[in-house]
Structure 1
């Protein structure tokens, strides 16, 4: 399952699933370096950063903003 970190509240990461529902994950279970907007892959009890998807999403957003303000 893929999720995206929406925000952090206290010791929890509030994440959005692909169906737009949200789940809370303890912050200490989130990989180091993950921040708001980071896409994570959750498989069984393992959570890893999906660097390729995160980078692609960031690039698309930056491109849209560049086009918007050009």
Structure 2
């Protein structure tokens, strides 16, 4: 499973999956440093942050924002 953390609601992380479905995951299952916008994936019940894809997504979003203001 792979998705992006959309937001946190108390002790729940709302994660948007690749098919745009949103699921709730207990915040306790995620790494402590997880934050909104992080790309996460689950393997054998353990969640990981995909640092490279998270960085790429943030750069892409910043480029789009810069283009909007030009």
Name the TM tier (shorter chain): over 0.9
Residue 46 of structure 1 corresponds to 46
Matched, 1:56 2:56: yes
Structure 1: which 5+ residue stretches go unaligned?
A: none
Aligned length: 70
Structure 2: which 5+ residue stretches go unaligned?
A: none
Q: CA RMSD in A?
A: 0.8
Distance 2:51 2:2 in 1: 12
- Scaled by the length of structure 2, what TM-score is found? 0.93
Partner deviation per Cα, 1:25-61 (whole Å, 9 max, x = no partner): 1111111211111100111211000000000000000
Matched, 1:18 2:18: yes
- Scaled by the length of structure 1, what TM-score is found? 0.93
Distance 1:25 1:45 in 2: 11
